[in-house]
Amino acid sequence: MTIAYKKLHDTFARLSRFGHLSAIAGWDAAAMMPPEGGQARSEALAELSVLTHQILTAKQVGEWLEQASGEQLNDVEQANLREMRRHYQQAALLPESLVQAKSLAGARCEQAWRIQRKSNDWEGFADNLKDVVKLSRQEAQLRSEAAGISRYDALLDLYEPGMTSQKLDVLFGDLKTWLPDLLQTVVEKQKSETRIAPQGPFDIEKQRQLGLKVMARLGFNFGAGRLDVSAHPFCGGVPQDVRITTRYNEDEFLSAMMGVIHETGHARYEQNLPKEWLGQPVSNARSMGVHESQSLLFEMQLGCSEPFLKSVYPLVIEQFGHREGLDESNFMKLNQRVQPGFIRVDADELSYPAHVILRYEIEKALMEGEIEVDDIPALWNSKMKEYLGINTVGNYRDGCMQDIHWTDGGFGYFPTYTLGAMYAAQLFQTANKAIPTLQDDIVRGDLTALFQWLQQNIWQHGSRFSTDQLIKNATGETLNPAFFRAHLESRYL
């Protein structure tokens, strides 16, 4: 290992250890921390974010990056250096004061949101969100000026390197030409099908046991992770210690079960990132779009498929017994039901993209200064009516306050959900061609071949390749949204 590169390697390993502490402290704040611990935790995390910012943006790091570019490095080291440079350049644009202010404002907004959402308190939430938006706009402006791109694109690049709003507008514009008609057609088609809602209550501990058994079926390594509860389901931690959460409702169990499947997709990706590179940027997940492709491959491509539902049906009966609405046929129909609703995380895969496009259009306008926080509720309701035929006037809890992402300034994240759905369809259809027995394997509960394919084509590569190259290597072409449309039409028509 050459001199400058070795110094960079050691510095980023140190940063990774601080990131580990931050991730677990963040998980604890969402899942375990008592309410009165919020202020102290926020200050501690802000202090940690400033410390890591100082280490990453130190003058010598820039000098080592210059020196290392002339050293003899192998392919993986070159990819790692590329990612190091990207992290350094992103961080160096921001002053410490902004890093600290963003961390504090985000923590304050997120912690208050947990209470404010329950009480439908838009005004209280908006006050905190305004601070987050102000600081996010400052960040976006600095990044925009440095890169010569729009403010929103500068934020989008943090989550999905190489993606632009111009590309998204084409992808989402195409979706909007055919998805509403398909959604309406399927809703009409399913009106003639009888579905029975299973009657609760569904014991929370039994729901948890079901989730654990499904996680085991999906290959989750419990020696390197755990399942807990939070206000909003998420996957956090680090590859050696992955923390996933869900939320439970005694009236029904499917949303918790599917939430667990979704987060397990994230977790399996994290747990299988290249161990020999851990602690280095090249070992990180490629992008949030690729990350979401794994969770949505698990939840939608696999989890909502008839073969998988057949395989987990005995686990459901084992926990809840034979009761009205839990015969196998009805269980299948419940998990493939298309019904536009308020809540994104509970949405079926046909109406889900509408939720994402709505959020994308609002957050882009917000970051570009075309709208203000006070404009969000009316704009949200207008788009919900247009895209899904749903009225959210006065219902902030199930409308513009339902998600956690904006509370900490996660602007630019939402589009990765639908990008992930598109990648997932392309990957799963390719895997089916590569594994002729896959559908039969799934019915038997044997997912070994699928996981080996994902390990070979996605998981083991971390950030070694660009997103386009990763997807092309795996499927033979870069992102092709035709796979997503073909999947939806095949399943629902």
**Residue positions annotated with a catalytic role:** 263
Q: Which two tokens stand for residue 316?
A: 């459901």
Question: Rounded to whole angstroms, how far apart are CA atoms 270 and 464?
Answer: 15
Please list the alpha-helical segments (H only) found in 148-203: 151-159, 165-190
Q: Supply the DSSP symbol for 402.
A: S
Question: Which residues does 401 contact at the CB level (< 8 Å), separation at least 6?
Answer: 113, 116, 117, 120, 122, 125
∠ Cα 294 296 300 (to 5°): 135
What long-range pairs does 198-202 form, CB within 8 A, spacing at least 24? Answer: 198/252, 198/253, 198/320, 198/323, 198/324, 198/325, 198/326, 198/330, 198/334, 199/323, 199/324, 199/325, 200/250, 200/251, 200/252, 200/253, 201/250, 201/251, 202/250, 202/251, 202/252, 202/253, 202/320
How many C-beta atoms lie closer than 10 Å to residue 445's C-beta?
14
State the DSSP H helix or E strand holding residue 74, giving kind and residue range, or none if neither.
none
Q: Supply the DSSP symbol for 198.
A: P
End-to-end Cα, the chain, rounded Å: 56
Sheet holding 235-238, edge to edge: 225-229, 241-246, 235-238
Q: Which two tokens stand for residue 327?
A: 């015969």
Inter-residue contact 271 to 225 (CB < 8 Å): yes
Inter-residue contact 86 to 56 (CB < 8 Å): no
Backbone angles phi, psi at 248, to 5 degrees: -115, 150
Question: Rounded to whole angstroms, how far apart are CA atoms 221 and 240?
Answer: 10
What long-range pairs does 37-41 form, CB within 8 A, spacing at least 24? Answer: 38/107, 38/108, 38/111, 41/107
Adjacent-strand bridge partners of 244? 227, 235
- Given the DSSP bridges, would you call strands 235-238 and 241-246 parallel, antiparallel or unpaired? antiparallel
Q: Which two tokens stand for residue 140?
A: 């976006």
Smallest CA-to-CA distance from 18 within 50, 43, 42 is with 50
Question: Rounded to whole angstroms, how far apart are CA atoms 85 and 281?
Answer: 10
User: 234 vs 124, 243, 400, 402, 472, CA distance in Å?
Assistant: 24, 8, 19, 14, 28
